[in-house]
Structure 1
């Protein structure tokens, strides 16, 4: 049973938190200080009590006893002189002695009221003095003046005996009072020495207690915190393999364990991130190869593929001009279809090249005045605007930091679509607005054309998605998809307003300054999500 008592106690102390250690330590320190304070107060009270007894009782009592003796001696001297000479002048010291005796006796009674032995000594003195006064002093003092008293001569021996008894009582009283004063003084000195030793011990205990508190704080709180801070700084500096050893009270150990758990989790996350980075590096390399192949394809599409296409288009047009009307109607129809197909194929290839260049070739951001871009757009579309009788108005347009080429393509596609998709017999009326919304600019392009049904509001921004046949409205179906790509490249969004019914309203946002250039990984991620041309 004895051998098993240690570990549970150790386990119990190991579960103590910093707050509990501080609470117990403060309570213990306060209890010790309270005990020391009570001891010091008792020593001071004891010293004060003995000092007051010596100063206020013992010394005054001894001096009063001496004065009482002097008063009785004056009485004896006066009576003896009066009895021998009969001169009344000797009665003066006797009368004064009586007065002094009464005063000193009362004072001694007051001083010795708590001292039974002292009161007994005072009673013995008073009894002896009373016997002498009754037998000698009063009878002699009552004799007529002018002649020696015969009574004094007759009782001279008795008077000497009775006054010797008074002297003996006075001597005994004074010896006792002197002994009591000496004892009180010895007690005071001993108590003062004990007090000095006690206060020295109290000071030593306080110093020891302060040292213990300081050492306990250093070992239990300061050192574990410093060690934890050192480990945390080492981990923050990149030494993630450094373990944290829990020390100190239970809450500090728990904190160390939590930080070490966070370190281990961070190591796992870093390992996972490193693996993901290596995987992304591999994917990036693959995407770079893929982009290089796409660049090669774009080069081939813009040069090598268009060369035979131009030949096909040129020779079919020559056939149409030279042999038009010489063959039958079917041949002329077939030749026209071939010419139209070649021209549309060339247009599609050029549009695809323009679409692929957005954000890849044209990315020179600079300050762009959209007012000037709008004027250039109206000038380039002037033929179609004049043919349709279109009216174009706009609010004051801001100046943004953007790619000027892409801004021109954006406005040309939006204004061109608004002019192209007008209602038959109704002149197009197009209005452009620009309003700041937070950190962005919000633009709307509103027309009174044929409109877009709500179910096609998202479909129109997909490449090659057409809502009408090429015979009704010419085009490649790539314009709004290119607008969407340009707007998103400049950090904005674009959408068709489904609430607007009297035509079409397309709203989009642009940032005053362009977003940061996308990283290779972001480009690769976006490239994998975009539809292939």
Structure 2
């Protein structure tokens, strides 16, 4: 078990005693050296009584002062050396304990992540089957004898089916959220244009059903694996279609702006929009900014959270802007591919 505090090493934990003593010795050494350098025959005569006749007394006094300086100097240097060794040992001990704490915390975090992944995996497999049966038998019950079921019974069955489907979506979203950490970082460079094209194909039916218009500007190559990049675009496009405005045809615009070595890709829509006060929580898992019932908030609140984890795993960042009733913009930044960076450097050099 790693201790949560640093134990006291030696008698003085903060080295205050050694520090004060070293300061006194240093001041004394400076004074003595100043006196020694300023010593001359006139200064020597001040230390010899008037009328003294022995000429060797001048040299003896000077020798005594020099000896005192040497002794105090050696003593002071010794104390400074002892203090330096003490501080070095104390710092090494603290670093060792800190390293042990970090190793323990890292191992504990790995265990927590592994447990969470196992829980999500079990939930995704063991809970999906009962939910599928619930939906299937509820649908059979609703269609078995429509004449024998009144409107209230059919309404109850519809609630059961909707609840089961929503539970399946929640379990699937939780699994996607947890599974992000298990995706290895390969350092590969992928085309954002190709990823967007694939995401558009996957959501072709959803886009057609909503009558959405998708405008995509030319997108660059970025440092990201293609699977993660496709998932990011799928989640952002699905979010734009899901929260479209009922009063106008949905229009989605995907654009990019280069800032240094980063590509800032933005997905804008003309949908319902979000209250700016709620934007700070948009990338939290299971957060639904519109509130209310299922019709007001058809999502489950995992799509943007998955986007944030994917982008941060790739070394980028996410942001969001919105105006209530006028649409939203969700963006993310990723590092440009090495070829584009070299091209930019060449253009600047030219």
Q: Taking structure 1 as the reference length, what is the TM-score of the superposition?
A: 0.47
Structure 2: gaps spanning 5 or more residues: 1-24, 42-66, 339-350
C-alpha offsets along residues 181-240 of structure 1, whole Å, 9 cap, x if unaligned?
xxxxxxxxxxxxxxxxxxxxxxxxxxxxxxxxxxxxxxx9xxxxxxxxxxxxxxxxxxxx
Partner residue of 2:330 out of 494, 499, 506: 506
C-alpha offsets along residues 223-258 of structure 1, whole Å, 9 cap, x if unaligned?
xxxxxxxxxxxxxxxxxxxxxxxx8885x9767755
User: Equivalent residues in 2 for 1:343-362 (5 A)?
Assistant: 343-361=165-183
User: Equivalent residues in 2 for 1:70-469 (5 A)?
Assistant: 250=73, 260-361=82-183, 363-468=185-290, 469=293
SS of the equivalent of 1:359 reads helix
| Pair 364,344 (structure 1): closer, same or farther in 2 beyond 3 Å | farther
**Is residue 367–residue 401 contact of structure 1 (8 Å, CA) maintained in 2?**
yes
CA distance in 2, matches of 1:352, 1:441: 29
CA distance in 2, matches of 1:501, 1:471: 16
Instruction: Indicate yes or no: 2:305 matched with 1:481.
Output: yes
User: Equivalent residues in 2 for 1:5-84 (5 A)?
Assistant: 15-16=29-30
Higher relative contact order (CA 8 A, sep 6+): 2
**Is residue 272–residue 325 contact of structure 2 (8 Å, CA) maintained in 1?**
no
Looking at CA atoms only, which structure, 1 or 2, has the larger radius of gyration?
A: 1
Match of 2:314 in 1: 490
Name whichever structure is richer in helix by fraction.
1
Equivalent residues, number: 285
SS of the equivalent of 1:15 reads helix
Task: Give runs of ≥4 in structure 1 deviating > 4 Å.
Answer: 11-14, 16-25, 247-250, 252-260, 498-501
**Is residue 135–residue 161 contact of structure 2 (8 Å, CA) maintained in 1?**
yes
Match of 1:73 in 2: none
| Pair 436,305 (structure 1): closer, same or farther in 2 beyond 3 Å | same
Match of 2:59 in 1: none
CA distance in 1, matches of 2:323, 2:77: 58
SS of the equivalent of 1:325 reads helix
CA distance in 1, matches of 2:118, 2:319: 33
CA distance in 1, matches of 2:27, 2:120: 77
| Pair 461,288 (structure 1): closer, same or farther in 2 beyond 3 Å | closer
CA distance in 2, matches of 1:265, 1:356: 45
SS of the equivalent of 1:471 reads coil
Structure 1: gaps spanning 5 or more residues: 1-10, 29-219, 221-246, 515-533
Match of 2:22 in 1: none
CA distance in 2, matches of 1:478, 1:292: 20
Name whichever structure is richer in strand by fraction.
2
The CA deviation at 1:272 is: 2.2
Q: Taking structure 2 as the reference length, what is the TM-score of the superposition?
A: 0.70
